[in-house]
Structures are given as C-alpha cells and as structure tokens.
Amino acid sequence: TQSTWGTLTCLYSGCAARAAPRWLDMICEIGFTSNFLVTWTTLTALGLAAQIVLSGSVFYALYVKASYETWRYKTFPKYPEPSKVRGEILEMLKSLVAATLCPTIALFLTKRGLAGKAYCGMHPSHMEPEQAAAEGYGWGYLAVCFALIVFVSDWYESTYHFCGHKFAAMWEWHKEHHHFPNPSPWAVISDEWPDQLMRSMPLLVFPLVMPINMDLLFATFAVFFYAYGSYLHSGFELPWLSAHNPVVNTSYHHAVHHALSIKNKPMHIGFFVKLWDWLYGSVLRDKCLCAECDRAAGNRTRAQWAEVVVPDYSVLLNLA
C-alpha cells in the first residue's frame, strides 16, 4: 500500500537517522563515566533497541501485514517459515554481543587517552573553539568524515565478505549466515561471533588512525548501516529503486546472494555500492531474477497471490 511504502522509504532514505534516539548524543559520555562491562552491556542494550525498531518495523510491514501490493515486489515469491525467522532472531541476539565489543574497546581506549584521535562534540576537548575552527573542525569536517566512514567501511565489509566465500577457513564461520536462503530483516547480523567481531572492526580502527567524532561513528553504524542492512535483508525491492540501477546494491542482489552464493562462489557480496562486485568479478551474469523483471514477464498476478501461503508469524511471540 502507499502508506507501507512511504513508511519504508522513510526508513531507508534517512528519516531513521533524523529521528535517531537522543542516546546517540550520549554514547561518548556512557563510555567516559562507566567501566568496561557496564559500557559493553549498555551498548548491547542500545543496539538491541535499534534492531527491534529497524528490523521489527520492516518485518511487521512486509511480513506480518503481508499484502498483494507488497508481495509484487518480493524477490522470491515464497515467504520464509517462522522457524527460519526464529533462527535469524536467535543468531542476531548471539552476534550482537560481539558486534558491540569493538565500539566498547574504542570508548575504553578513548577514556584512557590511548585512542587520542577520537573526540566527542564538534571538536577535540583540548581545543578552544577558535583553534578548532581554524584547524577545520565543524560541520564540514563531520560531513567529510561521514562520507569517508561510509566509503571505507563499505569497501572493508564487501572485501571481508568476499573472503568469507572465497577461502574455506573463513567460510566455516560465514556459512552460518547462509542457513537463511530466503532472509527476512532479522537476518542483518545473524552471524557467528567472529564475523560480527571483524565486521565491527572499523569502529575500533577509525578512532586509532584519524580524528573522528565518536557519536558520528556510532550513529553511522547503528542507524545508517543497520537501516540499509534491514532493507538488503528485507527480501522486498523498492518501487523507486530498480535492481538494474548502475550504482547501489538493492535487496534483490542480497536475496540472490543468500540463495546462490556458497563456498568458493562469491556472488553479490557488496553492501552499499556495486563497484566492489564489478572489481571482484562477483556479479550474477545469468538471467535476472528480480521482481521487476518477473512482473514485466506477466507474473505476480492476483491469481498467483491467491496461492501464496503467508505463515502465521505470531508464533514468534511464543517463547516456549
């Protein structure tokens, strides 16, 4: 429906970032006023809250409230069984603890002056505003940092992902993520802990190598990257973003990745931009499987929708 796509477009295009919880402005302070364990526990709880809001809202709109209008944009017509979705959620909960370890270490080092390039606020605390402005700190510097975080992290994530399929030893860890060939938004970080530890490494490395605002860094990962990851794993293509666009990866590419990419066969391993898949030669060159092409071929009719089985996902609320 129009309202469903409007809500999801808001999430995917940045409304989530603009409406980010106020705690994103306080993450540095949490690390500076708490011990290591309390900081780790707090970041894990905040990460869980972000997952419930982002993955949960998308799952509710597209799976719990499944409709013909949204199903027409689902890459794979079949809906996943509740048991598979439950598996995604359980893996997500386990890997979240590893995902928040690197940012906790970064805050721990910053607090003790061992990660001297990290700062909170608009500029490093040891600088007067005039000196900070003269050295280029301000909104412009934050914008440059955001672009750099996105570009470098996207390259790192895509390259690490490629290696997870290319090398047998890394596949032993990464294959857990591929227990879900028809993913839902809950699968964003449904990994084994080594994968999540490595994927969150930029949260530790950036503060060690360059002056970086910690709130910006955490917000970029917790909101921007996770929101886009929820879209990639949603299994649904957006009406306004074609899988055939030349720049960014869509949910279609990641759905194909989950279904067809296996050991020694990297395929559509990129996260944000398509550049890395073209460089690494990990592009599916067979017939396109996207919902857009399927509709163009005359499929996704109401008669076909009438035969689709939408599981009762309310069983996921049963903890037994």
Q: Which residues of 123-141 are buried (b: 16+ CB within 10 A; e: fewer)?
A: bbeeeeeeebeeeebeeeb
- Say yes or no to pLDDT of 140 above 90: no
State the average pLDDT over residues 122-133.
66
**Residue bearing the bigger pLDDT, 42 or 119:** 42
What are the tens digits of pLDDT across the range 5-42? 555 555 555 554 444 434 444 666 666 666 889 889 98
pTM of the model: 0.84
Which residue, chain included where needed, has tokens 């599981």?
A: 311
Q: Which residues contact 164 (CB under 8 A, 6 or more apart)?
A: 170, 171, 173, 174, 195, 269
What are the tens digits of pLDDT across the range 274-303? 999 999 999 988 889 999 999 999 999 999
- SS3 percent helix, strand, coil of the chain, rounded to 5, is 65, 5, 35
118 backbone dihedrals φ, ψ, rounded to 5°:
-85, 145
- Say yes or no to pLDDT of 189 above 80: yes
pLDDT attached to residue 42: 87
Query: Rounded CA gap, 63 and 10, in Å?
Result: 18
pLDDT attached to residue 81: 95
What are the tens digits of pLDDT across the range 221-250? 878 888 999 999 999 999 999 999 999 999
What are the tens digits of pLDDT across the range 146-166? 999 999 999 999 999 999 999
What are the CA-CA distances from residue 228 to residues 8, 67, 244, 271 (Å)? 11, 22, 18, 9
- CA 276 vs. chain centroid, Å, equals 17
CB 99 within 8 A of CB 189: yes
- Strand, coil or helix: 162: helix
Angle subtended by helix axes 2-13 and 36-59, to nearest 10: 150
Question: What percentage of the chain carries pLDDT values higher than 70?
Answer: 83
CB 10 within 8 A of CB 16: yes
* pLDDT interval class at 269 (50, 70, 90): very high
pLDDT attached to residue 162: 94
- Say yes or no to pLDDT of 86 above 60: yes
Cross-strand bridge partners of residue 236: 74
Written as six digits, the tokens of 168 are 């047998």
pLDDT attached to residue 22: 45
- CA 110 vs. chain centroid, Å, equals 25
**Residue bearing the bigger pLDDT, 145 or 8:** 145
Write the DSSP string, 216-253: HHHHIIIIIIHHHHHHHTSSB--TTS-TT-SSB--HHH
Q: Which residues of 5-34 are buried (b: 16+ CB within 10 A; e: fewer)?
A: bebbbebbeeebeeebeebbeebbebbeeb
Which pairs from 247-253 meet CB under 8 Å and 24+ separation? Answer: 247/273, 247/274, 248/272, 248/273, 248/274, 249/273, 249/274, 249/277, 251/75, 252/75, 252/289, 252/290, 252/291, 252/292, 253/277
State the average pLDDT over residues 48-68.
93
Q: What is the pLDDT of the chain when averaged over all its residues? A: 85
Write the DSSP string, 297-315: TT-S-HHHHHT-----GGG
Cross-strand bridge partners of residue 212: 118
**Residue bearing the bigger pLDDT, 17 or 210:** 210
